[in-house]
Amino acid sequence: MKTLKFGGTSLANAKKFIHVSSIIIDKAKNDQISIVLSAPATITNYLEKSIKKFIKHKKIPTSILIFIKKFFLNLIQELYNINPKYPLKKIEKQIIEKYEKLNNIFKKIYLSKICSEKKQAQIISSGEIFSVIIMKSLLNTFKRTVTIINPVKTILATNSYLNATVEIPKSKKSFQKLNISKQNIILMPGFIAGNAKGELVVLGRNGSDYSAAILAICTQSTACEIWTDVNGIYTGDPNIISQARWISEITYQEALELAYFGASVIHPSTIAPLQNTNIPCIIKNTNNHNHAGTLISKQKKTNASIITGITNLKKITLIKIFSCTNFCIEKMTHKLFLYLNRLNINTYLFNQSLSNHSINFYIQERNSKNIKKDLETVFETEIQRKMIEPIITLDNLSMISIIGTNIKKYNSEILKKICCVVNKFQNTILDISHNASNTSLSFVLKNKQTDQITNKIHNLIINKKIFINIFLIGVGGVGLEFLKIFFQQREQFKKKSICLNINLIANSKKFIFNKKKIDSEEWIQKLEEPQENFDLKKILILPKKYGFLCPVLIDCTASYDIADKYNEIIKSGFHIITSNKKSNTSLFAKYKKIRETACKYNKKFFYETHVGAGLPVIQTLKSLIESGDKLVKFQGILSGSMSYIFGQLDPNNTLSDAVNSAKKLGFTEPNPQDDLSGIDVARKLLILAREAGYSLELSDIHVEQILPDDFKKTNNKTKFLSRLRALNHIFLKKSKQAKKEEKVLRFIGTINDQGICKVQLHAVNKYNPLYHIKNGENIFVFYTKYYQPIPLILRGYGAGNRVTALGVFSDLLRIIS
């Protein structure tokens, strides 16, 4: 025997009824089956609405009742259209009879002016009765014999009319007396039971799942299948969590916790009876009936992950009760629970403190409307006698729960992530607690952006996803190349659960922003269209506004203004990656301050491309120093253009020719005089010296000018080259002299053991590693406490947009790692 329950969405219209009947017939081929049906979707809501309307206006809600009658009459008409064997007239009569009955209940309560809970139960459960009438006749058309169970007589329950609790042993006994033929399909309306007086009671909203569990026990079913409109249980509500994953199996305990803390797939009362009788429960999708669904059982077969899911309950209320020292807190708790049980109110994070004589707990806001007044009535005498202080309530809170197995073991990892997310959303954790069975961790916060917070935590803890949100400023040569690499490589990171998203692209005038991500195709065009003016202040508030966990600002500009704002940028939550050398070459005090801010705010500040473009120069030097090494001497060719120019220079090749071809190949700055001035090399040398621990300013770098003092700067390229030609003979002489000594001329930067930094033209012999460097290559020769007499050498292309962009990208990877 198997028990199958079909929910409202599975019975929403005639086609769905037919589909469900085919599933039933199919299942009944191999086994006897018992079926529990809900009311078609939304019908119970309308019935509930009709009651509320009546209570409010004291008038029979005729329009709703007629709507319900029409709904069912249309449904059977449609069934008949599809299946001409359907006994339309007979069922029409039955529906009208039931409708009259419903109408009569309203007439009676209209006369008495009292809408008792007993009557409310009769009204609200009508939908299920209609479903059973329709399904029975439909199954009969397929020649299947059906036994209908009247739950008022068979499923016995106590407590309230609207939220009854089933007495399982009694129900089992009464079921056994029915003696149903093994050939018959058993059909029962869900949601309904009967009390000791033989009156109809209901099992609380969505109670048909609970009915199914009870029927499964009564029929000694081998499984209880809950058929709904999703493939089973998910790691989070797919309406909130875009990356929610289907769960193939979970334990009863986990399902219980998920349901208790707000997951809506299954009614919380359903699990416990199945757990006690060890009947597996399967959540199945009516619209995708071949899908395996989620198996809920005692133990998982596979080694599924420890965190099963995340739920949230928005709108919860904190209740605080303080007693005076002379009132026994246990008595207070006892009285409180009697009240809560009577009203079937679930409490969360119940906390009884003996030391400060208080009780704290949370309830859902829908239960808290009158609770303050009610509790003050419950504790009226105690309050009057000043044994209890007036009750305090605090609304508009929310609770997020993480469900799993042995969750405490992973506390530090989970809590770190939770705090990080909550902080990012500028919310505060007000309370936090585990349940006794160590299967859930719940925390309370202000009900503000609760879904977004839940989504982020889900991605971090369950999907273990890392999100990096990139703000790129500067789309000149380097920025553009960076974007090419980025869009090429991004997919590869997805496989590793790293989501690299560009959310902002800016040039010096405007910016475009997309809270999800900017696509590779769209940005160029968008940046050409009118957009918001570039405004760093506006940009810096975006990560907090959208809860970005790991925002990274990449500065590919050459702007002093942006470099000057790095402290503010870091304080706004960004890591910084920069190819803009201005930040590291301004005053030493500023250089120091950025590092202090980054350290204080726990942010990364990476600038590997400042020296040697993509070559790992800074990182290497930093690691040496951090490992206790010390720079003794440094020598290097730090400029691609100067490497090329002096690599070309020999007694047969003049300076002006070398500069000209370097310019043609794109090695030089637009005005080659900027390269020849040595300022670029001086900046790089300063950065290296500072990395090595010297507190220097740019003015401390001695630059030996290779052009005479009276060589005036001009922006006119032809004029410049003709002037340069006038200097050819000087360099020819130097070059000849070098050759005579078996040396070559190299434009080099040096740092000596006293931290003296020089940029100069120097003749080096063939034993010097710099001798062979030409064609734009860079070289960095570090003599250190550990690396000598043989130095540590790095060489390779040290300039160009592509390698620089690659360096920026590898800085980004270091942020992820």
Residues labelled catalytic: 684
Which of 269/673 has CB closer to ligand ASP? 269
Identity (one letter) of the amino acid at 77? Q
Q: Is 205 in the site for ligand ASP (CB under 6 A)?
A: yes
Stretch that binds ligand ASP, among 168-176, 199-207, 409-417, 535-543 (CB under 6 A): 199-207
Q: Of 5 and 690, which has the nearer Cβ to ligand ASP?
A: 5
**CA-to-CA dists, residue 725 to 641, 710, 739, angstroms:** 18, 15, 21
Q: Rule CB under 6 A: is residue 749 a binding residue for ligand ASP?
A: no
212 vs 745 by CB, closer to ligand ASP: 212
What DSSP assignment string belongs to 338-379? Answer: HHHHHTT---EEEEEETTTTEEEEEEEGGG-TTHHHHHHHHT
- Name the residue nearer to ligand ASP (CB basis): 124 or 598: 124
- Residue 105, judged by CB atoms within 10 A of its CB (0-12, 13-18, 19+), counts as middle
Q: Which residues pair with 777 in a beta bridge?
A: 797
Does 130 contact ligand ASP by CB under 6 A?
no
For residues 589 and 130, give the distance between their C-alpha atoms in angstroms, rounded to a whole number.
81
DSSP-assigned letter for residue 431: E
Q: How far is the CB of 138 from ligand ASP (least distance, A)?
A: 19
- Examine residue 155 and tell whether it contacts ligand ASP (CB under 6 A): no
In angstroms, give the least distance from the CB of 228 to ligand ASP.
Answer: 10
Q: How far is the CB of 202 from ligand ASP (least distance, A)?
A: 8
Q: Least distance from C-beta 38 to ligand ASP, angstroms?
A: 3
- Binding range to ligand ASP, per CB under 6 A, among 205-213, 471-479, 625-633, 742-750: 205-213
Q: Does 208 bind ligand ASP (CB under 6 A)?
A: yes
127 binds ligand ASP (CB under 6 A): yes
Interface with ligand ASP (CB under 6 A), residue total 12
Q: How many CB atoms lie within 10 A of CB 715?
A: 9
Residue ranges of the alpha helices (H) in 113-228? 117-124, 126-141, 151-154, 168-176, 208-218
42 is a site residue for ligand ASP (CB under 6 A): no
Q: Taking the CA atoms of 232, 235, 240 and 243 in sequence, report the sign of the dihedral they define.
A: negative
DSSP 8-class letter at 155: S
Q: Whose Cβ is closer to ligand ASP: residue 7's or residue 404's?
A: 7
Q: Identify which of residues 127 and 800 has a Cβ nearer to ligand ASP in the complex.
A: 127
User: Residue 160 interacts with ligand ASP (CB under 6 A)?
Assistant: no
Return the structure tokens found at 541. Answer: 């508030």
Token pair 């040697």 in the structure block, residue:
612
Q: Is 207 a residue that touches ligand ASP (CB under 6 A)?
A: yes
Stretch that binds ligand ASP, among 36-44, 442-450, 501-509, 776-784 (CB under 6 A): 36-44
Spatial separation of the C-alpha atoms in residues 178 and 184, rounded to whole Å:
12
Q: Provide the minimum distance between the beta carbon of 42 and ligand ASP in the complex, in angstroms, as a whole number.
A: 9
The Cα–Cα gap between 234 and 400 comes to: 16
- Dihedral (CA of 73, 79, 83, 85) sign: negative
Q: Please pick, from the candidates 8, 273, 551, 776, the single residue that binds ligand ASP as defined by CB under 6 A.
A: 8
Closest approach, Cβ 153 to ligand ASP, in A, equals: 19
Binding mask 78-117 for ligand ASP (x = CB under 6 A): ----------------------------------------
Q: Provide the minimum distance between the beta carbon of 219 and ligand ASP in the complex, in angstroms, as a whole number.
A: 19
Restricting to residues 44-73, name those near ligand ASP by CB under 6 A.
Answer: 44
Which of the ranges 206-214, 292-300, 460-468, 771-779 carries the binding residues for ligand ASP, by CB under 6 A?
A: 206-214
What's the CA gap between 167 and 158, in Å, rounded?
Answer: 7
Are the C-beta atoms of 499 and 468 separated by less than 8 Å? yes
Q: Which of 609, 489, 492, 606 is nearest to 553 (CA)?
A: 606
Segment contacting ligand ASP by CB under 6 A, of 166-174, 203-211, 783-791, 792-800: 203-211
Q: Which residue among 122, 206, 450, 503 contacts ligand ASP (CB under 6 A)?
A: 206
Segment contacting ligand ASP (CB under 6 A): 38-46, 487-495, 608-616, 683-691?
38-46
The nearest distance, CB 264 to ligand ASP, in angstroms, is: 11
Residue of 131, 273, 294 lying closest to 227 (CA atoms): 294
Pick 212 or 453: Cβ nearer ligand ASP? 212
* Residue 293 buriedness (CB in 10 A; 0-12 / 13-18 / 19+): buried
**C-alpha separations of 26 from 205, 268, 513 in Å:** 30, 29, 54
Among 61, 151, 189, 190, indicate the residue that binds ligand ASP (CB under 6 A): 190
CA neighbor of 223 nearest in space, from 284, 150, 152:
284
Binding of ligand ASP by 269 (CB under 6 A): no
- State the distance between the two ends of the chain, measured CA to CA, in whole angstroms: 54
Handedness of CA 417, 420, 424, 429 (dihedral sign): positive
* Lookup result for tokens 């540590």: 792
Max CA distance (Å), the chain: 123
Q: Which residue, 192 or 421, has its beta carbon nearer to ligand ASP?
A: 192
Let me know: does 27 contact 57? Beta carbons within 8 Å.
no
Which tokens belong to 524? 């160029």
Length of the chain: 817
DSSP state of 645: H
User: Least distance (Å) from ligand ASP to the CB of residue 11?
Assistant: 9
Among 11, 39, 164, 217, binds ligand ASP (CB under 6 A): 39
- Identity of the residue, 207 or 678, whose beta carbon is nearer to ligand ASP in the bound complex: 207
Q: Smallest distance from the beta carbon of 48 to ligand ASP, in angstroms? A: 8
Q: Give whichever of 207 and 776 is closer to ligand ASP, judged by the CB atom.
A: 207
CB of 124 to ligand ASP, least distance (A): 8
Beta strand pairing call for 307-322 and 392-404: antiparallel
Residue 297: strand, helix, or coil: strand
- Does residue 191 interact with ligand ASP by CB under 6 A? yes
Interface with ligand ASP by CB under 6 A: which residues? 7-8, 38-39, 44, 127, 190-191, 205-208
